Structure 1
Amino acid sequence: MTKKEIVKQVKEVIEKNGYLQVAIEGVHSAVDLIAEKKDKKLLIKVVENIDSVSRDVALELCKLADFIGAQPLIIGERSKNVVLSEDLIYKRFSISCVSAKGFEYLLDGLPQPIAAKGIGAKVRIDGTKLKEIRQINNISAEELAQKIKISKSSVYRYEHNYAYVSLEVANRINNFFKSRLDAGKEEVESNILYSKDNEMQLAKTNVRALSVKRLPFNIIAKGKTNYYEIASEGDIRTLVKRAVVLKEIMETFKNNYSFFVIESDKKEIMDLPVIKKDKLYNISSEAELLEIIMS
């Protein structure tokens, strides 16, 4: 499937499960779909090949998800030339990756993908070390496969770092060689991409804020109950494209407010307010910020 076809299928699944959603289109973004249902939030990146997601994109996806309390997901068709299995979760820079059909399974009453029936935690085996210790022990790939009850092709994939390994298989390999060959569940699954030290305050208020990249906005801020998406960079054409997305976010999700912080004589862009930097920096409370946005 093409990315457009995957997005279409994912949007249908989201709608069927009663989530509100916004598709981010027309701008380069680390997030393609935002979905929300009560207290559940999803940030989704859609690609044909999950290996095409760069570390920088994954970083921004994780940063935003952590800040707003959302679950980041990558949905794709394949990894390299291998079609993603419907009942497996893959990992890309600590982010869970699933097929479009697998995503449908996750939303069918499974709040945490890693806990889904038939889906175990995945770890990365040190393929070079596995091959070395196998050869040192004078064991063929076929013999190892028989001993730990996997296919010979799986041994090949593990040794060439083409695949993650279930914890069960990793433990069998470790026990067989009496050596630790996997990276460990905690290392693989932990979010190592983002530190909360990157957070700041918005102007002189007590509103927490985070600088982001590769998104339709440059700053995301969080007050007591409200979120603020702030765009502050780009030419007028780019700002208009961003305004289309920001307006839809504000209209779709409750307690979301979007505005621009640019030096311009314009008072608004597509009905979204424009606030000059010096005025924003002198705001001392969230109530004052809301008053300016709504005026």
Structure 2
Amino acid sequence: MKTSLIQKAINVLEDAHFRVSDCSIVRSCFDILARRDDTILLIKILPNIEGLNHKSALELKNVAVVMSGIPLIIGDHTKNSILSPDVIYTRYDIHVVNIDAFAGILSGRIPSIYSIRGNYCMRIDSRLLSNIRKKLNMTQEELAYQLGVSKQSIYRYESSGRISLNIAEKLMEFLKEDIMVPSDIFTLEINCLENEISTFMTDLKRMVLREFKNIGLDTSLTNAPFDILAREREHHEKILTIVSDDCEGLKRKVEIIKDISEITGCYKVCISNRARDLDVLVIRPKELSEIKEVSEFMELLVD
């Protein structure tokens, strides 16, 4: 089912004029990377969305931050139910949708309902609610009485714009106004990296991280087609870095990072003792250790 869902997602993205890289042939925290204009999506396909755990979510969010992208889960069901095409779900602060909802969103049909911890909610225009209430010459307490909620609840609705689905329906029926604000998977902002995830690290990866740091590159370990995402500070260039002596695995990863590099504009490089005849710049660990300045390293990538 996962393979079928991946292909459906790719078709939907391509129909919406996204450039797409299928990353599912290697172990990665995302299966698809897609870009349209300035929007970059990092998509994990999980037929059963309960397969997402904290570690996997953290890996996906961390890569999204350094790639300036948006993490997204496309799934089909939970243990007990099928995902609704009319709802945007969340898991570990990542938006989750089914394939029909995703296709609708890319076509401009954005669900108005979202689910948090099993509770169905809706976003409303909080300022519009406040203005309408005042035009009706109603206090927060009077509106609360009409809806059967507390005055504090009305204050919260007018502050946050978040409201349970059943109260939202009562509110709009009473006001005779549509104050709903559609949810949007493209507005999710993750502002900072969370703690690095402890993972097994080869001696080669440790060496590369150390040498990158010595020449002034910022680095993030990733569970992705690239092992390290390095960032050059002056011009904010990103470098997709494969670090491995596994010749068979290297070929698959190189094919993917070529796609990702072309889509995102990132540089690409492979650090390896054994790599041969790869369609990407290969730097031997000894050669890397002899590089003293970040400008020298970037010149190799440009050439």
Displacement after TM superposition at 1:167 (Å): 4.2
CA contact (8 A) 1:14 1:21 kept: yes
Displacement after TM superposition at 1:171 (Å): 8.2
Displacement after TM superposition at 1:31 (Å): 0.7
Which residue of the other structure, out of 228, 231, 239, is the alignment partner of 1:219? 228
Distance in 1 between residues matched to 2:236 and 2:189, nearest whole Å = 28
CA contact (8 A) 1:240 1:270 kept: yes
Distance in 2 between residues matched to 1:247 and 1:21, nearest whole Å = 12
Q: What's the counterpart of residue 65 of structure 2? A: 66
Identity %: 23
Matched, 1:76 2:75: yes
Structure 1: 4+ residue segments shifted above 4 A: 169-172, 189-194
Which residue of the other structure, out of 240, 246, 269, is the alignment partner of 1:235? 246
Matched, 1:259 2:269: yes
Q: What's the counterpart of residue 48 of structure 2? A: 49
Displacement after TM superposition at 1:94 (Å): 1.6
Letter in 1 for 2:105: L
Q: What's the counterpart of residue 16 of structure 2? A: 17
- Once the two structures are superposed, the pairs formed by residues 108-127 of structure 1 within 5 Å of their partners are 108-109=107-108, 116-120=110-114, 122-123=116-117
CA contact (8 A) 2:88 2:111 kept: no
Higher mean C-alpha displacement, 51-60 vs 72-81: 51-60
Matched length? 230
Displacement after TM superposition at 1:55 (Å): 2.2
CA contact (8 A) 2:57 2:92 kept: yes
Q: 1:208 to 1:106 in 2, by over 3 A?
A: farther
Distance in 2 between residues matched to 1:206 and 1:74, nearest whole Å = 34
Displacement after TM superposition at 1:281 (Å): 4.0
- Once the two structures are superposed, the pairs formed by residues 1-295 of structure 1 within 5 Å of their partners are 2-109=1-108, 116-120=110-114, 122-123=116-117, 167-168=163-164, 194-195=193-194, 202-213=212-223, 215-223=224-232, 224-233=235-244, 235-250=246-261, 252-264=262-274, 266=275, 268-295=276-303
Q: 1:204 to 1:254 in 2, by over 3 A?
A: same
Secondary structure, counterpart of 1:280 in structure 2? helix
TM-score norm. by structure 2 comes to: 0.66
Q: Deviations over 1:173-213 (max 9, x none)?
A: xxxxxxxxxxxxxxxx9969942778x89344443221112
CA contact (8 A) 1:33 1:44 kept: yes
Q: Deviations over 1:268-291 (max 9, x none)?
A: 542212212243244344442232
Secondary structure, counterpart of 1:13 in structure 2? helix
Q: 1:72 to 1:254 in 2, by over 3 A?
A: closer
Q: 1:40 to 1:95 in 2, by over 3 A?
A: same
Structure 1 stretches lacking a partner, 5+ long: 111-115, 126-146, 149-165, 173-188
Distance in 2 between residues matched to 1:87 and 1:282, nearest whole Å = 56
Letter in 2 for 1:168: S
Q: Deviations over 1:69-108 (max 9, x none)?
A: 1110000111113110001111122211000111112223
Distance in 2 between residues matched to 1:87 and 1:26, nearest whole Å = 31
